[in-house]
Amino acid sequence: MPKILITGTAGFIGFHVVNEFLLDESFQIFGLDIINDYYDVELKYKRLEQHGIYARDMQDRESFKSRIFSNYSFLKVDLVDYDFVVDFMLKEKFDYVVHLAAQAGVRFSIDNPRAYIKSNIDGFLSILEGSRFSQIKHLIYASTSSVYGLNTKLPLSEKQSTQHPMSLYAATKKSNELMAHTYSHLFRLPTTGLRFFTVYGPWGRPDMALFLFADAILSDRPINVFNHGEMVRDFTFVEDIAKAIRKISIKPAVEEKEWDSQTPVPDSSSAPYKIFNIGNNNPIKLDLYIYALEQAIGKVAIRNYMEMQPGDVPATHADTRSLENYIRYKPKTTVKEGVNLFYSWFKSYYSK
């Protein structure tokens, strides 16, 4: 049974990726998370409980076996603890690594830049070194559509430049892509970076728009609608993301034999390195996203239209052809379906 390490498993996307691999039943899964207090820690513990990991049993640096799944274990650890992480990966000898742990949030990075360097740069270095020394078969890591920054040519393609990020969060994720390429080139470590486009769904973060909107609508409070509702996003349902990650994980990046150093493209290399967009390829206006939530709740929102926020872009739209060709899979959950699934969970979890 192949062994896979998934970081950030108390987090939103990590939780769903663990679900996907547990459904497969052919992997021995190990989860890592620091469980920091960036948002409600209780929500993180509740996610872990769904997989049989309970806070009362958890110790730092001590792995704990799931009470529900025989093929799942968890370890609470800070990835910045370089020596411990590298030694742990050498000891466990994983076949695959899915690195999702990171400090998230565009706006939080404006006021808290050091948190992003620590988690997204130093933490990623620990994973790269552990992957290098333990000679894993494939490292998959989370990037973001935010790396496209000032680009306005839509749809956004992996072959476009990403030299103009608009937030430190985006800059750290761009740095991850550069760091991964270096390790792919120097040590032939197969790496694949995944640029997520506006992920939403059940068990999401409380600072995400859908959470804030649902809570405000139910409480008869106005919601802040930036760019006067004209913001366009390629909203992508989290379970579609998780399915794509499982398919990509067992298909390691390889050297592109036709890659030309005279006219280099940024999404592949003469090294075993790949970059993919993961989006729904069906962007809609923010106002329509809110309308889908209003329909799910059965209540109209009080809209407070505002200007664009610092670090935001007016539109995203993922060109997903490369991903579809590579794994023969395309995210397919509509916004209406996804928002309904989110609200069903939200209503149940918060007893609304």
Give dist(CA 229, CA 227) in Å, integer.
5
Catalytic choice (169, 183, 289, 343): 169
Q: List CB contacts of 75: < 8 A, sequence separation 6 or more.
A: 30, 31, 32, 61, 62, 63, 64, 88
Within a 10 A sphere around the Cβ of 186, how many other Cβ atoms? 10
CB 293 within 8 A of CB 225: no
Phi/psi at 38 (5° precision): -55, -35
Whole-number Å distance between alpha carbons of 138 and 187:
12
Q: Are 268 and 184 in contact (CB under 8 A)?
A: no
Query: Which structure tokens are listed for 279?
Result: 């989006």
Q: Give the three-class secondary structure for 17.
A: helix
Query: Beta strand pairing status for 138-144 and 191-196?
Result: parallel
How far is C-alpha 338 from the geometric centre of its chain's CA atoms? 17
Sorted by sequence, the CB contacts under 8 Å of residue 258 that are 6+ apart come out as none
- In 3-state terms the chain splits into helix, strand, coil percentages (rounded to 5) of 40, 20, 40
Burial class (CB within 10 angstroms; exposed 0-12, middle 13-18, buried 19+) of 285 = middle
- The Cβ of residue 99 has, within 10 Å, a number of other Cβ atoms equal to 27
Specify the amino acid at residue 332. Answer: K
Q: What angle in degrees, to the nearest 10, is found between the helix axes of 12-24 and 238-249? A: 60
169 given a catalytic annotation: yes
| Residues annotated catalytic, as ranges | 169
